[in-house]
């Protein structure tokens, strides 16, 4: 407890504290300047903190996983064919045609239009890389048996959501964005499929921005 020094109590705001015995002498110019200096130091240190984070945050160049991958339109697989693998980017590129839309195994909750999607290669259960099993026409994870359709919807196994996607943009020859991935599920989940409009030249896939799949916990897929 502070010892009151017998200084005359101030009226007003300080008065209330005073009645409790807390000493509140008037603010002198010197004291105020010190507080100002301390604030400037705090601002400076905050700046240093910001610079430290900016300094230490890893940066990903184009073509490095974590950065942006640019893929030409010609590299997109045909609709309803096998997914195409991009190992350096850690993603599968799938082209969903009418067969995929009308697949009887597809859980009804997750609707989509024909188009392309980019799926993160890592299984959403515990992180293994799932495989495309042609004979079963689905993705299967070797670690705990999670199974997903080409459309990224989970149809079995211990995973609890659909496969994650990377944000993708379709760009034309001047670099303008013609269309890009939007969320179709509340909570910014389950990215939309993209169609390829006329004039599209390339896809820009940002492996630094990932969108989670929609929740999917029913035994055969669905919520």
Partner 1 sequence: MKYYVAGGTFAFIGAVVILMVMSALEPARMESFTQSYESRRIEEGAAIYESSCRPCHGPQGGGTPLGPALNRANLFNGDYLNAIGWSGTLADFLSSTVASGRPLPTIGTDFPQRMPTWSESFGGPLRIDQVENVVSFILNWGERAVVGIEPTETTDDLMMGSDIFVELPEGDVAAGQVLAEQTLGCTACHTLTAVGPSWEAADGLPGMGVRGGIRIQQDNYTGNATSSDQYLIESVVETNIHIVEGFQPNIMPNDFGERVTLQDMADLLAFLKTFE
Partner 2 sequence: MRIPRPKILSLPFLDDIEEKGVVKASTDLADDVVTRVTSGLNITDIRGVLRGDPAVRPNPRLTPHAEGFWLHMKPTYYNNLMDGLYPTFRLGWLATFFLVWETLTGLYLMIFYTPSPLVAYENMLNILSNVPFGRWMRDTHKLGGELMVLVVVFHMVRTYITGSYKRPRQFTWATGGILLILTLFVSFFGYLLPWDQLSLWAVTIGASTAEATPFIGREADLLMRGGPEIGANGLLRAYLIHVILIPIIMFIFLGIHYYKVILHGHSLPPGVEEPGVDTARKVPMNVRTYFMPKILTRELVYVAGLTLIMLVASAFTLGYHAPLEPHADNLVTPLHTTSPWYFLWIQGMMKLGDKFIFGALIPFGIVFGTIVAWPYIEVGRNRRYGKRRIGLSIAASSIVLAAILTYMGTPWFGVETSPDQEAIAILLPQTSPGPLRLADWNDIPFGTYSASEWESAPTRTTSKLLKMFDRELDHARDNPIYGDVEGFMVVEDWQSDLKKITVRVVWVDPETGTPGEFSEIFFFHRDSDYGQGE
Q: State the binding partner of 218 from partner 2, partner 1, none, CB within 5 to 8 A by kind.
A: none
Find out whether 103 and 151 touch, Cβ atoms under 8 Å.
yes
Size of the site for partner 1 (CB under 8 A): 14
Return the structure tokens found at 194: 């993209």
Nearest CA-CA partner of 174 in 206, 201, 204: 201
User: Is residue 42 close enough to count as binding partner 2 by CB under 8 A?
Assistant: no
User: Smallest distance from the beta carbon of 37 to partner 2, in angstroms?
Assistant: 8
Size of the site for partner 2 (CB under 8 A): 24
Q: How far apart are the first and last CA of the chain?
A: 60
Instruction: Report the residue number, 1 or 87, with the smaller CB distance to partner 1.
Output: 87
Give the number of residues written for the chain: 223
Nearest CA-CA partner of 153 in 82, 103, 196: 103
User: Smallest distance from the beta carbon of 94 to partner 1, in angstroms?
Assistant: 20
For the stretch 180-201, what's the b/e string if a residue is b when 16 or more beta carbons lie within 10 angstroms of its beta carbon? ebebbbeeebbbbbbebeeebb
Residues 17-56 vs partner 1: string with x where CB under 8 A? ------------xx--xx-xx--xx-xx--xx--x--x--
Residue bearing tokens 């940002």: 206
Beta strand 177-180 with 165-172 is antiparallel
Residue choice 6, 11, 13, 59 for contact with partner 2 (CB under 8 A)? 59
User: Smallest distance from the beta carbon of 15 to partner 1, in angstroms?
Assistant: 29
Q: Which chain residues interact with partner 1 by CB under 8 A?
A: 29-30, 33-34, 36-37, 40-41, 43-44, 47-48, 51, 54
Q: Which chain residues interact with partner 2 by CB under 8 A?
A: 1-2, 5, 17, 20-23, 25, 28, 30-31, 34-35, 37, 41, 44, 51-52, 54-56, 59, 61
């Amino acid at each position: 407890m502070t010892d009151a020094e017998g200084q005359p109590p101030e009226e007003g705001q300080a008065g209330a504290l005073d009645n409790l015995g807390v000493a509140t002498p008037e603010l002198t110019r010197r004291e105020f300047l010190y507080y100002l200096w301390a604030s400037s130091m705090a601002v400076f240190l905050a700046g240093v903190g910001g610079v430290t984070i900016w300094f230490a945050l890893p940066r990903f160049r184009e073509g490095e996983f974590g950065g942006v991958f640019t893929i030409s339109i010609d590299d997109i697989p045909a609709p309803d064919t096998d997914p195409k693998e991009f190992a350096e980017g850690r993603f599968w590129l799938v082209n969903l045609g009418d067969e995929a839309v009308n697949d009887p195994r597809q859980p009804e909750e997750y609707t989509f239009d024909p188009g392309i999607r980019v799926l993160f290669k890592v299984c959403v259960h515990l992180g293994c890389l799932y495989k495309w099993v042609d004979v079963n026409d689905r993705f299967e994870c070797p670690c705990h048996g999670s199974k997903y359709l080409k459309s990224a919807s989970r149809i079995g196994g211990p995973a609890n959501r659909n496969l994650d996607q990377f944000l993708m943009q379709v760009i034309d020859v001047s670099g303008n964005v013609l269309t890009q991935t939007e969320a179709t599920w509340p909570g910014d989940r389950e990215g939309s499929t993209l169609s390829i409009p006329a004039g599209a030249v390339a896809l820009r896939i940002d492996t630094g921005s990932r969108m989670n799949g929609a929740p999917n916990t029913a035994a055969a897929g669905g919520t």
